[in-house]
Structure 1
Amino acid sequence: MKESVLAKPGGDMARKGALRLIQGVRDGRSLSDQSGALRALPVADQARAARLAAETLRHQGRADRVIEGLVNRTPPPQVADVLRLAVVEMLELGAPAHGVVGAAVDLTRTLGQRGRAAAGMANAVLRKASAFEGWADLPPQQLPEWLRDPLLDAYDEATMIAMEAAHQRGAPIDLTLKPGVEPIEGGDLLPTGSLRMRGSVQVSALPGYDAGDWWVQDAAAALPARMLNARLGEKVADLCAAPGGKTMQLAATGADVFAIDINEYRLKRVTENLARCGLTATVIAADALEWEPDQPLDAILLDAPCSATGTIRRHPDMPFIRDGYGVAELIELQTAMLDHALSLLRPGGRLVYATCSLIPDEGEVQIEEALQRHPGLTVEHPTLEGIEAEWITPEGGLRLRPDYWADLGGMDGFYMACLRKPA
């Protein structure tokens, strides 16, 4: 059971804030898009509200199973969210039941006439829920049908359940260290070289933050740049560069790096991260489909726009705000970007194509079709440190899943492949 982060003074404000965030997700807004919604709250309550909202979304399926066994009829949507908040706070976050139940009943009463009418029901249901046994044995929340059904075509049911369990566990914080920097205390080196921090940490308070010794980057997200293996003096482009983790990896090799992104606002973060870490790259606001360098490039990293379905363990709101609409257009965009990027390479140059997606059409299928469109194009077999043989796909790419490294804390879902242009 996780340590309670809300069973402390100010918790009522945090609960109200969490409910507001969840209701925003119901309206189609991501948690990150609502970052300003809690500005009126003290900073500590903002953090607790964000944490409780994320955990409630992550465990909604389990909370619903508890609630469904204790009610005679489905509660109104806002009341149901209050019940879920309370169940997750008690059974997952370990907050004392008496405080949670009382606060939830008070919160229910603020939801208009329906809420006032449901207050007694909420009190009875949550008192019974506080004594529920078997929370840890409940199956993990399933992915929505628009995503689960196509993934079942690629993976079996056991794999799906394992991935859903990984989503439920959430994600630790991983750091990428600059070359020569020693691991900091409180972290464990992963097989691929990333440093995984133990427990909850405040990133800006960690040793080496101000010195720019490292940056936050999931272990899976750190592998495409390592696969590209940029070298001193090479001309390298990072297409779709923001927020800059891969750009910094490439710059740390001594390569001449061009960081390209269409979003000028997000590029500011790339510039800030480079400055903090004492690294240099040419930052350019441009459409990756139109940008062309002055001369052919030695290497390109294309982390293409995608469904981001590999990052659900970090973004539990994603299954609730997306419905699969637009994935076909993303796949078309990926194809166009891949073809354009290949045209920017010198003969014999290399390109790493990557997506943080679990959907094969955004990964394996893209590479299979690219090989058909471009005679002479080849896939270089992955030789990265710490990878396992089962991760390597038939066409020569690398398929990463959230259920991999289960004993180490998992990883984001990713696909990547290194393509070599004919000489």
Structure 2
Amino acid sequence: MRARTGSKPHRRPAADDDKPGLAARKTAARLLSAVIDTRTSLDALTDNEHGHPQYLALEPRDRALVRAILVSALRHRNTIASLIESRLERPLPANAHALSHVLHVGAAQILFLDVPDSAAVDLAVAQAKDDPRTRRFSALVNGVLRNLARRKERSLPAALAATRDAPKWFDARLQAAYGTERAGAILAAHRLEAPVDFTVKSDAGKWAGLLGGRVLPGGSVRLDRLPDAVTALPGFEEGAWWVQDAAAALPARLLGNIENLDVADLCAAPGGKTAQLAQAGARVTAVDQSANRLKRLAGNLERLGLTAEIVQADLMQWQPPRLFDAILLDAPCSSTGTVRRHPDVPWTKTPEDIARLAELQRRLAEQAAGWVKPGGTLVFSNCSLDPAEGEQLVAALLAARQDLVLSPIAPEEIPGAERFVTAEGHLRTTPETGGEDAMSLHDVDGFFAARLKRL
């Protein structure tokens, strides 16, 4: 479709300043630019206290719309791009980033959100006219999006089937680790909204009934959709449960019976695993570098009626006053196992980031290993799908530390999650769906964990 060029610049009508919904769409395009062009975290941009100024200037309803647009645009970025490109006579100019973002914001609403097509198109055109960089392409925006709206019932299913919604580098690493078919299943899962899981302190059946969910293998309670206000759910004020993906709840269980043991939770905030360890009867020391995140951890523990010694420290500088019977190190990572919840991750991370984070994790694990008593246990975990941050890292750690040996995980230790135990005795969960049954855990975040014993 050809853009009309050569027309004289014109000033947009003043009324456009107040056009309902325009500010939200402009914000969505601005934030999409920040994610794609400058690799800025979506969570940081949409934080309700410290987020992007344009986002914070919106009313709560518009903030929710902006986030819904961005999540859909990122989950289906390559599908949207293919549908837009098929409606152009020639590719967009290489430097037409602003125009691309306007089109993606409009297409995300037309294809994946409950927004009237006419409103999505009209607001995208108004947005294009509002920006000097895109003003001369307003007719193109109108034509492409109207064509997309008219033909979406036929063209969208075919585009979804033919497209892998991930950057090429990310898809290639998944295929190298899991094979083409399984990598495709993981990418398909990344298009879906993740369920919300709760770890309950007791009586999972009772709380499943009260929350309107179901009990998963392992005892977590699952709701298929995140409610508007978690804090308004039954049991929140009394501290009966906390939000925690069922896969994230597995590493702490690998420590076994820790009642009355000294256990350290390293990189502990926001505290889901700390709560698990305290609930299991351990004397917990929770360590994290971030003062703000530790405040959140302390608040969570207070709500739950659980206690832990809280320490703010850089783990590379910290010297604990004593050795621990067991340590759980849930290390900072690329977060590629949480793409369903954070669809910006593949677009904001790079292979170089994975290599850098893997080196940081290795150093942290070596440091933590020295704080475990002889005969004690170190569980290393993270929410990455990449072997460089998992299997390869543990192999390098064991080669460097002669005082550590692998303590293989037995499938029967984690009923319902047996299929996630590898031949080497590691835990490796992945988010693809399919083949679900009541006795097996499915549809979880990607997680890795290895259990090590200090000699």
Q: Structure 1 length normalisation: TM-score?
A: 0.91
Which of residues 56, 61, 77 is equivalent to 1:39? 56
1:48 maps to: 65
**AA matched with 1:413:** G
> Is it true that 1:68 corresponds to 2:85 in the alignment?
yes
CA contact (8 A) 2:102 2:124 kept: yes
1 CA distance for matches of 2:448 and 2:118? 46
Q: Aligned to 1:357, what secondary structure does the other structure show?
A: coil
- Tell me which of 100, 109, 117 is aligned to 1:97: 117
> In the alignment, is the contact (CA less than 8 A) between 1:289 and 1:337 conserved in 2?
yes
> Residues 408 and 451 of structure 2 are in contact (CA less than 8 Å); yes or no, is this contact kept in structure 1?
yes
Alignment equivalent of 1:30, drawn from 41, 58, 65? 41
Q: Give the distance between the partners of 2:223 and 2:316, measured in 1 at CA.
A: 37
- Taking the aligned partners of 1:200 and 1:278, their CA distance within structure 2 comes to 24
What 5-or-longer segments of structure 1 have no aligned partner?
Answer: 1-8
User: Is the 1:379–1:395 contact (alpha carbons within 8 Å) kept by the matching residues of 2?
Assistant: no
Q: In the alignment, which of 61, 76, 81 is matched to residue 59 of structure 1?
A: 76
Residues 405, 174 of structure 1: alpha-carbon distance in 2 compared, 3 angstrom cutoff: farther
* Equivalent pairs, count: 413
Residue deviations 1:388-420, cap 9 Å, x none?
443222221111112156758722111101222
Deviations 1:95-133 (A, max 9, x none): 221222111111111121x42211111111111101221
Amino acid of the residue matched to residue 260 of structure 2? G
Maintained 8 Å contact 2:355/2:388: no
List per-residue Cα deviations over 1:335-363 (Å, max 9, x = no partner): 22222222211222111110111111211
Instruction: From the superposition, tell whether residues 323 and 291 of structure 1 become closer, same or farther in structure 2 (CA, over 3 Å).
Output: same
Q: Which residue matches 1:130?
A: 149
* Aligned counterparts of 1:59 and 1:230: Cα–Cα separation in 2: 43
How far the C-alpha of 1:230 sits from its partner, in A, is 4.7
Is the contact made by 1:58 and 1:141 (CA closer than 8 Å) also made in structure 2?
no
Equivalent residues in 2 for 1:22-421, closer than 5 Å: 22-25=32-35, 26-34=37-45, 35=47, 36-37=51-52, 38-75=55-92, 76-112=96-132, 114-132=133-151, 133-137=154-158, 138-139=160-161, 140-180=163-203, 182-183=206-207, 184-201=210-227, 202-372=229-399, 373-375=401-403, 377-382=405-410, 383-404=412-433, 407=436, 410-421=443-454
**Compared CA separation, residues 356 and 77, structure 1 to 2 (3 A):** same
Distance 2:319 2:449 in 1: 23
Cα deviation, residue 10, structure 1: 5.2
Of the structure 1 ranges 213-222 and 180-189, higher mean CA displacement relative to structure 2 is found in 180-189
Where in structure 2 are there 5+ consecutive unaligned residues? 1-18
Q: 1:244 to 1:10 in 2, by over 3 A?
A: farther
Q: Give the Cα–Cα distance (whole angstroms) in 1 for the partners of residues 203 and 71 of structure 2.
A: 36
Within 2, Cα distance between the matches of 1:377 and 1:396? Answer: 12
Change over 3 Å in CA distance of 1:150–1:141 after alignment to 2 = closer
Amino acid at match of 2:212: G
Once the two structures are superposed, residues 2-55 of structure 1 have per-residue CA deviations (whole angstroms, 9 ceiling, x without a partner) of xxxxxxx95433322222211221222111221222111111111111121111
Secondary structure of the structure 2 residue equivalent to 1:169 = coil
Q: TM-score, length-normalised on structure 2? A: 0.85
State how far apart, in whole Å, the 2-side matches of 1:404 and 1:387 are: 15
Looking at structure 1, the residues matched to 331 and 404 of structure 2 have their Cα atoms a distance apart, in angstroms, of 23
In the alignment, residue 123 of structure 1 is paired with which amino acid?
N
| RMSD over equivalenced CA pairs, Å | 2.1
Shift of 1:243: 1.1
Sequence identity percentage: 39
